Structure 1
Amino acid sequence: MQKLINVMLDKGVEFSFHVPEGTPLAHDVARAWLDKQFTTLDCEPLRASGKVLTADKILVVTQAAGAALLADAQWSAEYVAAVSAALGKPMIRVDVPAMAITY
């Protein structure tokens, strides 16, 4: 089964990434990568409570990364591996304008 991550950004910018076959990234490694990106990109929690759910972290990291980082081959490969491992779904849609992730 082919795995795919689609990312929608503002102004109709869209990226589509195929998740490579093989050994997936470990869940804790994926979360650590997302945590690092959340800090590096100066992301803010979506919820007033300060809780940061995995899906929220993916949304704000994707938003902060924007088209520039998503177009970077090395960064996007790490992003795809982390998002795929963190969510564990074969088809993922990250919709930044709607602030939603669907499977």
Structure 2
Amino acid sequence: MRSEVSVTFKGAAPVRIDLNEVQPMPHDVARWWLDDQFTQMGCEPLRPTGKLLTADKVVVVAEAAGLAKFQEAKWSQEFARAASAALGKPVVHIDVATLGISY
């Protein structure tokens, strides 16, 4: 089964991270990794209520990281592993411009 995370930034080709030959990240480790990146990057919740869904966290971390961070192979691989595991989906597409996510 195909496993991939792709991230699209406005005006740039999608960044595709292939996870087919990569060890899956445990769900709890993935949530911790995303929480840590969210804090390190100084991210803010998308919703005015402050409620932060896992999908929102994935999108906000991708936005804060920017295209430059996704050019770092190690970081982008860890992000993809964490996003896929935390969301429980083998194929994830993140559109940073619209703050959207699809499976």
Task: Give % identity.
Answer: 48
Q: CA deviation at 1:22?
A: 5.3
Q: CA deviation at 1:12?
A: 3.0
Structure 2 counterpart of 1:75: 75
Q: CA deviation at 1:74?
A: 1.0
SS of 1:98's partner is coil
Structure 2 counterpart of 1:24: 24
Structure 2 counterpart of 1:100: 100
Q: CA deviation at 1:14?
A: 1.8
- TM-score normalized by the length of structure 1: 0.93
| Paired positions, count | 103
Letter in 2 for 1:66: G
SS of 1:11's partner is coil
Alignment of 1:12-91 (within 5 A): 12-21=12-21, 23-91=23-91
SS of 1:55's partner is helix
Letter in 1 for 2:35: D
- TM-score normalized by the length of structure 2: 0.93
Name structure 1 gaps, 5 residues minimum: none
Structure 2 counterpart of 1:4: 4
RMSD: 1.2
